[in-house]
């Protein structure tokens, strides 16, 4: 019998990432999706390799392996706080193509998609999502619940606070500090520090408004 995995929260694209990552590792799992946010189905996430069922009513205690099925940092925080889940049950779901230094550290509940590179002495926090083709430089810290979109380049000695989202194709130069609960827009070039609780974008990246 296949090992059971509960995906908490139903984001169609995130579930597709999870399935692709599991397939790359040849992990055979019986997958249940807990749609506690009542999200509509927008895209198909069927996969011949897996038995997948979706439910709005489930006994969370029946599962020893959990992962988050949402991408937005605010949804991640909402699920963890509202359900009071045991964080020790969350597993990392990582694509086999990940290139990570042995001197770097991953938190729990991490989702990393294909063709990601993580350099030495980097710390990836809990429940961080890193999408495809992302490069992360040395001595960088990415806080809990962050999401990094495809094609992002993060140089060395960068700090990104918890609950922040980095848009697709953003470039962040060495030594930059980005605050918590901040959104960096797609394609931005970040050449100076960005504070917490803001939306910032552009080339060069600058604060546009508060992130309420």
Q: How confident is the model over 34-69, as pLDDT tens digits? A: 987 777 666 677 777 787 888 888 888 889 999 999
Q: Is 47 a catalytic residue?
A: no
Does the predicted TM-score (pTM) go above 0.85? yes
Q: How confident is the model over 74-84, as pLDDT tens digits? A: 999 999 998 98
Q: From the candidates 47, 95, 121, 138, which is the catalytic residue?
A: 138
- Least confident piece of the model among 37-41, 200-204, 205-209: 37-41
Q: Which CATH class is domain 93-201?
A: mainly beta
pLDDT value, residue 48? 76
C-alpha–C-alpha distance, residues 142 and 124, integer Å: 5
pLDDT value, residue 28? 73
Q: How confident is the model over 9-18, as pLDDT tens digits? A: 988 889 989 9
pLDDT band with cut points at 50, 70 and 90 for residue 1: very low
Is the dihedral angle over the CA atoms 39, 129, 178, 163 positive or is it negative?
Answer: positive
* Domain residue ranges in the chain: 3-89, 93-201
Kindly state the average pLDDT of the residues 164-169.
98
Q: Which residue has the tokens 């509960």?
A: 6
């Amino acid at each position: 019998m296949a090992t059971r995995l509960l995906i908490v929260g139903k984001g169609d694209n995130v579930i597709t990432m999870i399935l692709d990552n599991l397939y790359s590792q040849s992990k055979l799992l019986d997958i249940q999706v807990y749609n506690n946010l009542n999200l509509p189905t927008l895209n198909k996430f069927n996969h011949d390799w897996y038995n997948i069922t979706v439910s709005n009513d489930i006994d969370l205690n029946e599962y020893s392996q959990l992962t988050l099925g949402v991408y937005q940092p605010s949804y991640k925080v909402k699920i963890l706080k509202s359900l009071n889940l045991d964080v020790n049950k969350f597993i990392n779901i990582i694509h086999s193509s990940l290139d990570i230094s042995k001197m770097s550290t991953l938190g729990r509940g991490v989702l990393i998609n294909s063709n990601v590179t993580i350099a030495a002495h980097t710390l990836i926090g809990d429940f961080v999502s890193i999408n495809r083709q992302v490069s992360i430089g040395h001595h960088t810290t990415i806080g809990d619940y962050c999401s990094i979109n495809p094609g992002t380049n993060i140089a060395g000695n960068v700090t990104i606070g918890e609950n922040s989202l980095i848009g697709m194709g953003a470039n962040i130069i060495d030594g930059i500090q980005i605050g918590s609960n901040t959104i960096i827009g797609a394609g931005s070039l970040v050449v100076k520090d960005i504070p917490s609780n803001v939306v910032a974008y552009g080339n060069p990246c600058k604060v546009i408004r508060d992130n309420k």
